[in-house]
Amino acid sequence: MKIEFKTIRFKNLLSYPNILMEIPLNTHQVTLIRGKNGSGKSTVLDALTFVLFNRAFREDVNKGELLNDLTNRECLVEIEFAVGGKEYKVSRGIKPDVFEVYCNSEMLNRNTNSRDYQEILEKQILRCNFKSFCQVVILGSDTYIPFMKLSVPKRREIIEGLLDLDVFSTMSSILKTKIGDLSNTIKDRICDREKIEQRIALLAMSRDELKKNNDSVIADYEKNKRELQTSIRKSEERIVTLQQLIYEIAVINDSEIDEKIQTYDAMRIKCRTQMDAIESEIEFFTKHDTCPTCHQKINEDFRNDIIEKKNTRYQSLNEIYGPALNKATRLRGEKKVIEVGVNQRALHRADMDREFSRIDDFRHQIATIESHIRRLTEKNKDFDDSEIDRLHKEVVRISREVQGLTDDTTHHRAALTILPLIKATIIKKFVPIFNEHITFYLNKLESNLRFEINEDFEEKVMIRGKHDKGYGSLSAGEKYRVDLALLFAWRAVARLRNSINCSLLCFDEVLDASLDSSGKEQLMDILKNLHNDTNIYVITHSEDFFEQGFERVLEVSKRGNFSQMRVA
């Protein structure tokens, strides 16, 4: 499917200001972009590769340097193109980071990371990567590496991309991964089988030993059972003894004793309070001769009479206080004896609970022992080989699984061997087509060279049918004609294969070097007659560059620190 580029827009990219620059890409067949060095002519190519591949076209410009260092924000590039009847728009920016792909005005689902999203754009929509794009779409004098200057692996990578053979490399990678996974699975399953076989041997050995030892084990279980039953009887006897001790301890309601203690304590306190008051009064009359209130002298007879009455009252209270104190003390002693009995009953009950718990534990142990005895007795009657039989079946199943995995590995290895042969067959089929197009374009450029490549992408150069030469021995002009012929041949084959069929072709200052005026005119003739649906952009810094044949001329200049572009 063909990629038809329609419009590109950018702002804050390199030296361009914070004004969205829009360039229609499909309105003219041949466009000249002209300007002085450093004016911002090649920024269009950097915008194109940045928005599509997240990198600058020029190798000496990293992604961060694409941001205009004066505005230092909101670098944004948008491109619109059509593929297979669908309209796409890609937006990519820096500060803030932006990467969005729209199909028919709807944003594609981006529940993936940026790397996977980029892979969708390259493999499913554009169907080419950065290297293939720059070999077929853009030819720059500073950054373009001619096909013949690439290493053989790099040449093969370009050709495989043009012929859409990447799928075979992907298939080879997938097959190698599957073969590795299958090999690891086979090893794991063989290991599982060996473990099961070892378990079978151990179970068989264990079965024989168990048959010999079961009777001895049952005898030990019976002995333990008898010992536990004896322990149960001892605990039951202990419980009877504790019940008798609890019964013998009298239960007395100590609430009545508490009430009596409170009554006697109240009597004692009341007497003690009155006795203390009487002692104070007796002390007063004994030590004082004058009344502190009326300041009259206290009569001696009156004082003696008062002291005698107070002593009599004190004696009466003391007769109540002493017995009350003794009775309260005696009752407290009785209460302590009762509390000792209560505590003793609680201890006996705790001992009984422990004995009941021990009996439950002994009975649980006896039940477990009886279960073991029954199981061992059943084994002695008829030993169960079902587990060994099940494991033997598992070994058979794993062996069949290993055989199936081994067959799959064999098939994958066979396919892995065939894939390079298929690729070589396809390349062999297209080599004559490559050479035919190379010859066609060399003739168009009026070159007397005959240039061919073989299936290993090695070149053969002849002049006038003889004198074999290498690419390196050619002059700069001859090399340039070969490079151009290869570029046009790759585009023709890509269009033929429908792998990289693109409406855009860009030349960055290629007409300013190596080609003489005749070669430039021949190149322009090729460009004008290349394809009616191809939009060609030629970038030059030459002020006296001829404008004949160009449908549109875009002048790039700098005003202050910012670039601007206008139609001449």
Q: How far apart are CA 549 and CA 314, in angstroms?
A: 147
Weakest mean pLDDT among 217-231, 287-301, 484-498, 508-522: 508-522
Q: How far apart are CA 536 and CA 527, in angstroms?
A: 7
Whether residues 133 and 254 share a domain: the answer is: no
In a domain, 300, yes or no: yes
In a domain, 270, yes or no: yes
Domain boundary among 348, 381, 414: 381
Encoding tokens for residue 535? 């939009």
Res. 546: pLDDT tops 70: no
Residues 6+ apart with CB under 8 A from 483: 139, 146, 147, 148
Distances (CA, A) of 351 to 236, 360, 362, 421: 12, 14, 16, 92
Domain boundary among 329, 364, 381: 381
- The per-residue pLDDT for 20 is 92
For the residues 115-137, what does the mean pLDDT come to? 83
Residues 6+ apart with CB under 8 A from 43: 10, 13, 14, 15, 16, 563
pLDDT: is 528 or 326 the higher one?
326
In a domain, 148, yes or no: no
Angle at 119 between CA 115 and CA 121, to 5 degrees: 120
Residues facing 506 on adjacent strands: 138, 537
Q: CATH code at 28?
A: 3.40.50.300
Whether residues 126 and 5 share a domain: the answer is: yes
Is the pTM higher than 0.85? The answer reads: no
Instruction: Output DSSP code: residue 126.
Output: I
- The per-residue pLDDT for 250 is 56
Q: Using pLDDT thresholds of 50, 70 and 90, give the confidence band for residue 433.
A: confident
Res. 81: pLDDT tops 80: yes
Q: Is the dihedral of CA 491, 494, 495, 501 positive or negative?
A: negative
Task: Tell me which residue range forms the domain holding 314.
Answer: 249-381
Distances (CA, A) of 26 to 2, 91, 121, 139, 514: 13, 19, 21, 19, 29
Which among 11, 181, 180, 174 has a CA at the least distance from the CA of 95?
11
Q: Using pLDDT thresholds of 50, 70 and 90, give the confidence band for residue 515.
A: low
Number of domains in the chain: 2
Res. 16: pLDDT tops 90: yes
Q: Using pLDDT thresholds of 50, 70 and 90, give the confidence band for residue 2.
A: confident
Q: How far apart are CA 529 and CA 552, in angstroms?
A: 17
Encoding tokens for residue 514? 């190596």
